[in-house]
A and B are shown apart, each in its own frame.
Chain A
Amino acid sequence: MSIMGTRVVRVEDPRLLTAGGTYTDDLRVPELAGAAHVTFVRSPFAHARITGIDISAAQAEPGVVAVMTGQDLDELPAPPADNPVSEPLLAKDTVRFVGEPVALVVTDGRYQGEDAAELVSVDYEALTAVVDIPASIEGETLLFPASGSNVLAAGGAETSDDAAFADCDVVVERTIVNQRVAPVPLETRAAAAAWTDGKLTVWISTQNAHWSRDAIAGGLGLEPTAVRVITPDVGGGFGAKIGADPDGIAVAWAAKKTGRPVRWVESRSENLVAMTHGRGQRHILKIGGDRDGRIKAYRLDLVQDAGAYPRMAPLLATLTSLMASGVYDIPHVETRFQVALTNTTPIAAYRGAGRPEATAAIERAVDLFAAEIGMDPAEVRRRNVIPPDRFPYTTPGGAEYDTGEYAAALDKVLAAAGYDELRAEQARRRENGDPVQLGIGLSTYVEITGGVPEAGETARVVVHDDGTVTVFTGSSPHGQGHATSWAMLVQDELGIPMEKVTVLHGDTESIPVGIGTFGSRSLQLGGTAVHQAALEVKEKARELAANELEANTADLEFDVAGGLWRVRGTPDIGLDWGRLAQLAGPDGLVADVHFTSDKSTFPFGAHVAVVEVDTETGKTTLVRHVTVDDAGPVLNPILAEGQRQGGIAQGAAQALLEEVLYDPQGNPVTSTLVDYSFVTATELPSFELVQMETPTNLNPLGVKGIGEAGTIGSTPAVQNAVVDAVAHLGVRHIDMPTTPERVWTAINEARAGQ
């Protein structure tokens, strides 16, 4: 029986549960014996000129090995002359956000680093901080004067087509905020490095060993072959650990410069200001349609906050634009975006990266439209989703949706949630004037997964002469369970029990080519590569067995139960995998695959969130969350459900609680986990997951990505539920996070306006 689709518990767990993982700060390898500690000195100003740095007091501290500042950058390759907005490893002349690295100290001991960093004296001349988007676009103060503008990128429709809205019965416009949030993987950023015999070895907590290698080599002016990157266990990434940040590259530089192995792990307070944030968009929505529920035109005008440096913000805005029209068949869709620099922490990917923002915008817009025409939001969705016979469907924005059953997903989730009963209960509470009102929020979504599919992913499958298997994967797990999944794929194809399969990842020396884990790409690209490598191994085995048994390959069959290759009809003679590996030669039976795809896949689904809102205090409680998340066939339901549950929680957290805030001078006010409202177990219910599997035809496994779906679907469903709970009081919109204060204010404003 195939192991595919079965609930296999993880092979990773026993180690993590008894000895703990080996995260970067846990490494006790010989190469790091006697390693010194790196501590960064970070800017306390959002925008300032550095007028002087005095390192003498720090240098005189006990245990100080070195102090490095922007003055030392001259020994590194100069940034490209044609890039006026490049980001240095250490700020030299100007700091552009609170938390930007200004200097680093290398000390014998961990605590000595804290002491010495305090003694690095930096003189700053404060500049006007550009904190909000309008000020950025206005451009009175420029972050990079040489660039001439704070607007990094702009795109989309050049003119507004108001005629498309002119023949709509109803047009609704609204400005909404998709707030900045912090990824907060439980393991903060960390790196260690050793420079030996002209070669650098870097251990770094990242989602991509190979991209990190290229970034480190490029930053330090080394050949990629002179850098080996190893990713030990990684304690979560969520997009914020894609590649290597300047801080990580600077740590590698410190090892090279001092000749001493070094370690670095940032504190949480550093992490909350210096690791990239996510989201950070402002949307101006315009939606129009007829009173029969048909949506005819949609415009999304968005500004993406980039933070202080251009990391990934332009890509996020592009993805939001691409996915703007969601699951709906809308004749006229118009998007426009600007990406603006501010004196805040740089923005990059966070679970969903541009797609949750697109979904939040259109799902809010659809609810606003439904409220305006007085139609049930489920019915409006049903009347506008792209029907199954239109696939592959190319959106007005140019996305080519592969497969989708949007109405089926919606109907399924409504049935599972008991939608009609929920509406009846809501009506009862409204009628009774119950102080605790019920809100029912929907979202129907489609998203794009596969993250750079044309770059693909690599796999090497090796069968050894003892019958065991090693899989080398270019993909890079940080909690997803690749070791379990890849072993299942091997067992399924080769019949070798997964206990005999070892999965290795995240070492640029043993795996020369790899891309990594982001954009919900692992199974569809990395998993397919493993699957295809296993198939190749099987074909090689068949030929070797045919040769050895003097039979036709067509007559060979593999007996899974006995683990033997046999000639059909001669059950007494067979060859096991170990024997075939011996026959294959000293390297064993090997297949290398680099699977690429020229197209992305488009998972979809529908969520129902149920909240209770105390209208007297504004407090919201998420009481149920029901979802259909269809990413094609499921390899291991335990793992897929885990991805969905974690994703739902992060989306609900954005809708209800979490927000990174700055004061008008650009000082972060959510820089510890006391101030940042990280979601806890008490604020969430258990989730109700409904299964649905619609395969794609873009890879042999038929799979799409599941990693980000939960977040994309849940964020607007929860926000819509909060608004829905108080809609009868006249409230049409509440920005995220829908804190008690905001809900309470919205209720009172609506009442005052009536």
Chain B
Amino acid sequence: MKVTITVNGKQMEDDIEDRTLLVHFLRDIAGLTATNVGCDTTSCGACTVLLDGESVKSCTVLAAQADGGAVTTVEGLAGADGSLHPVQRAFHAEHGLQCGFCTPGMVMAAVSLLKENPHPTEQQVRTGLEGNLCRCTGYHNIVRAVLAASAEEGA
């Protein structure tokens, strides 16, 4: 089937197998490999992207369901001039990533969380990120990074 999806502002059109997952559309067709697959049960959140502004786990969305929609991945988060998004900046400053595999999904989940709740408490951050797993950081610095980003204007 034919789908048209706007990815990070760029319109992509392709003839795909019906069962193609959005994450594979992003990785294999759009060539954007930052979005990772970490599980097969919608548990880990490594594949989190924004679909029409809402965070979704792209391993559990068919590309067909995103037809006509707009997707933002971590590659599309920084400004056109290369300036980092406040969440990206905070993850860097607070050492919120180690191996980096969960990071693109974690960052997108954090962006979505702060959009819904610009000034969360620590507990709200923890609850908001419950669907995103990280094995390296113990979440400590991820939570600090999200709190730091929330304190920044424009987050």
Interface residues of A, Cβ cutoff 8 Å to B: 9-10, 12-14, 16-23, 25-26, 28, 110-111, 183-188, 233-236, 238, 265, 267-269, 478-481, 638-639, 641-642, 645-650, 672-674, 678, 680-682, 684, 686-687, 710
Identify 30 residue pairs between A and B in the complex whose beta-carbon atoms are under 8 Å apart, listed by A's number: A13-B91, A16-B97, A18-B74, A19-B34, A20-B36, A23-B101, A28-B33, A110-B28, A185-B101, A186-B38, A186-B133, A186-B134, A235-B101, A236-B98, A267-B40, A268-B38, A268-B39, A479-B100, A480-B98, A642-B95, A642-B98, A645-B138, A650-B135, A672-B41, A680-B129, A680-B131, A680-B133, A684-B138, A684-B139, A684-B140
| Chain A residues with CB below 8 A from B143, complex form | 681, 686
| Chain A residues with CB below 8 A from B88, complex form | 17-18
CA distance A16 to B84 in the complex (A): 12
Instruction: Report whether B125 and A681 are in contact in the complex, using a CB–CB cutoff of 8 Å.
Output: yes
Q: Does B115 contact A (CB under 8 A)?
A: no
Q: With a 10 A CB-CB cut-off, give which of A478, A649, A674, A681 has the most chain B CB atoms.
A: A681
Closest 9 A/B residue pairs (Cβ): A20-B34, A649-B138, A235-B101, A479-B99, A673-B43, A479-B98, A16-B100, A268-B39, A26-B33
CB distance from B24 to the nearest CB of A (A): 7
Q: Does B67 contact A (CB under 8 A)?
A: no
CA distance A236 to B36 in the complex (A): 13
CB distance from A491 to the nearest CB of B (A): 19
Please give me the residue from chain A that is nearest to B98 by CB atom: A479
Please give me the residue from chain A that is nearest to B125 by CB atom: A681
Instruction: Report whether A235 and B97 are in contact in the complex, using a CB–CB cutoff of 8 Å.
Output: no
Instruction: Report whether A645 and B137 are in contact in the complex, using a CB–CB cutoff of 8 Å.
Output: yes
Q: What 13 additional pairs, Cβ within 8 angstroms, besides A20-B33, A649-B138?
A: A9-B95, A14-B84, A16-B103, A18-B84, A183-B135, A186-B102, A267-B39, A269-B40, A674-B41, A674-B43, A678-B44, A681-B129, A684-B126
| Chain B residues with CB below 8 A from A23, complex form | 36, 101
Q: Is the interface of B mostly helix, strand, loop or mixed?
A: loop
Instruction: Report whether B44 and A682 are in contact in the complex, using a CB–CB cutoff of 8 Å.
Output: no
| Chain B residues with CB below 8 A from A16, complex form | 97, 100, 103
Q: Does B5 contact A (CB under 8 A)?
A: no
1/0 contact string of B12-51 vs chain A (CB within 8 Å): 0000010100001001100101111111110110100000
Interface residues of B in 71-126 (CB under 8 A from A): 74-75, 77-78, 84, 88, 91-93, 95, 97-104, 107, 122, 125-126
CB distance from B122 to the nearest CB of A (A): 7
CA distance A236 to B136 in the complex (A): 7
| Chain A residues with CB below 8 A from B104, complex form | 20
Instruction: Report whether A19 and B75 are in contact in the complex, using a CB–CB cutoff of 8 Å.
Output: yes
CA distance A314 to B134 in the complex (A): 30
CB distance from A34 to the nearest CB of B (A): 13
Instruction: Report whether A185 and B95 are in contact in the complex, using a CB–CB cutoff of 8 Å.
Output: no
Q: With A26-B33, A639-B95, A674-B41 as known contacts, state yes or no: A681 contacts B24, CB within 8 Å.
A: no
CA distance A269 to B38 in the complex (A): 10
CA distance A26 to B31 in the complex (A): 9
| Chain A residues with CB below 8 A from B36, complex form | 20, 23, 186-187, 235
| Chain A residues with CB below 8 A from B139, complex form | 649, 680-681, 684
Contact partner, A186, options B35, B40, B99, Cβ 8 Å: B99
